[in-house]
Amino acid sequence: MKDWLATRTPRERRILVIGGAFLILVLLYGALIHPFYAGLARLRRTAAEQHSLLHWMRGAAREIQSLRRSGPAAPASGGSILSVVDQAARREHLEGAVKRLEPDNAGGVRVWLKQAPFDQVVRWLGALQRDAGLRIESISLEATGAPGKVNGRAVLKGAGS
């Protein structure tokens, strides 16, 4: 390589050296500097998003603590726990999936589900906890052959039970 370069004219050698140096700089920028600054910008965006999320979570935590201090909400209908669970199931279009609903000896309710859409079951249980102040004492869900459908049993209790 050195011999080959020595056979070149001084002008060609200068062009080759300058071109080689430029090529090394471009490769260095492309391999190290640009990825570093792109990663740094991505981390800054992520940090800003996480900070915003943290701010929202702190506000939500304060609201949750405030709601917990105020106690569970009374059922809007003022009815029994059975009727509250049944009405919530109807709102989530689960009336066909609720196969059995019976009172529990400890003031709760037992629910049997068959071929229930999993997403609707989760929304239904969340609504019962959030709106009626019920808690899940126990739950057992198992997948069926149909996609997104579950069979299961749950025992729901009032927050004071």
User: In whole angstroms, what is the distance from residue 94 CA to residue 54 CA?
Assistant: 36
CB 86 within 8 A of CB 147: no
User: In whole angstroms, what is the distance from residue 22 CA to residue 85 CA?
Assistant: 74
Q: What are phi and psi of 109, to 5 degrees?
A: -140, 140
For helices 81-91 and 118-132, the axis angle rounded to 10 degrees is: 140
What is the residue type of 89?
A
pLDDT > 70 fraction of the chain, expressed in percent and rounded: 92
pLDDT digits (tens, 9 = 90+) for 89-144: 999 889 899 999 999 887 889 999 999 999 999 999 998 998 888 889 999 999 99
Q: Mean per-residue pLDDT for 41-50?
A: 97
The residue among 66 and 111 whose pLDDT is bigger is 111
Report how far apart the first and last C-alpha atoms of the chain are (Å, whole number): 88
User: In whole angstroms, what is the distance from residue 52 CA to residue 6 CA?
Assistant: 62
User: In whole angstroms, what is the distance from residue 156 CA to residue 96 CA?
Assistant: 19
State the residue for tokens 């056979």: 7
CB 141 within 8 A of CB 118: yes
Identify the pLDDT of residue 161. Answer: 59
pLDDT digits (tens, 9 = 90+) for 6-19: 899 999 999 999 99
